[in-house]
């Protein structure tokens, strides 16, 4: 697989509202898109910055991945997402190497992207998402 760029950095926040106010106050930037990803139990706000994007994550359910993360670790960086041009091939390659995948087949994420997560125990404690933009491939 070829990693094309850091697609986005996911940051867990107790509320999107406080994250949005902080980003506007500190840097004068506004989100370009808000989206709920129901099956991930999150609402997300996106801030494109150059070639990459910050994805702020608010939990919609304390039992979801971000809800549990906020409870255990508090606000902060939740995951890194690497863009690839073929997420199916990337997941197959990782599975063939015996890597523990959270998603053994890619699924839909925000923006209609196709995504798959690698378990953080495989990556030195960083949750990594492999992501193929909608429309690519
Ligand atoms: N980054 C690094 N480590 C993490 C982590 C994260 N974001 N979330 C959990 N962990 C670690 C925990 O610290 C814990 O480590 P130890 O065993 O050393 O204590 C371990 O993973 C298990 O954590 P847990 O709180 O018991 O949580 P679960 O096992 O139930 O779930 C995980 C952990 C990673 C499997 C789950 O969060 C997951 O499936 N994540 C992928 C989906 C996701 O994060 N969705 C939200 C974003 C969606 C989007 O961007 O659209």
Indicate which CATH number applies to the domain containing 39. 3.10.180.10
Q: Report how far ligand 1's centroid is from the alpha carbon of 18 (Å).
A: 23
Structural domain harbouring 109: 3-132
Which atom, in ligand 1's list, is nearest to the CA of 102?
A: 39
Which atom, in ligand 1's list, is nearest to the CA of 65?
A: 37
Give the residue ranges of the chain where pLDDT is below 70.
135-137
Q: What is the pLDDT of residue 128?
A: 98
Q: How many domains are contained in the chain? A: 1
Q: Using alpha carbons, list the distances in angstroms from residue 114 to 32, 88, 90, 108, 122.
A: 20, 9, 12, 5, 21
Ligand 1 in reach of 114 Cβ (< 6 A): no
Q: What is the pLDDT of residue 111?
A: 84
Q: CA–CA separation, 75 vs 133, rounded Å?
A: 26
Report yes or no on 137 lying in a domain: no
Q: What is the pLDDT of residue 135?
A: 67
Q: What is the pLDDT of residues 55-91, one digit of tens each?
A: 999 999 999 999 999 999 999 999 999 999 999 999 9
Q: What is the pLDDT of residue 97?
A: 97
Q: What is the pLDDT of residue 94?
A: 98
């Amino acid at each position: 697989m070829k990693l094309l760029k850091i697609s986005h950095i996911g940051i867990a926040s107790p509320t999107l509202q406080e994250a949005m106010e902080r980003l506007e106050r500190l840097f004068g930037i506004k989100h370009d898109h808000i989206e709920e990803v129901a099956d991930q139990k999150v609402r997300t706000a996106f801030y494109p910055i150059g070639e990459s994007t910050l994805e702020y994550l608010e939990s919609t359910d304390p039992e979801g991945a971000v809800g549990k993360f906020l409870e255990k670790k508090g606000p902060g960086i939740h995951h890194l997402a690497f863009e690839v041009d073929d997420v199916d091939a990337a997941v197959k390659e990782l599975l063939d190497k015996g890597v523990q995948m959270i998603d053994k087949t890619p699924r839909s994420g925000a923006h209609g992207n196709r995504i798959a997560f690698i378990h953080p125990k495989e990556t030195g404690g960083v949750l990594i998402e492999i992501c193929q933009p909608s429309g690519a491939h």
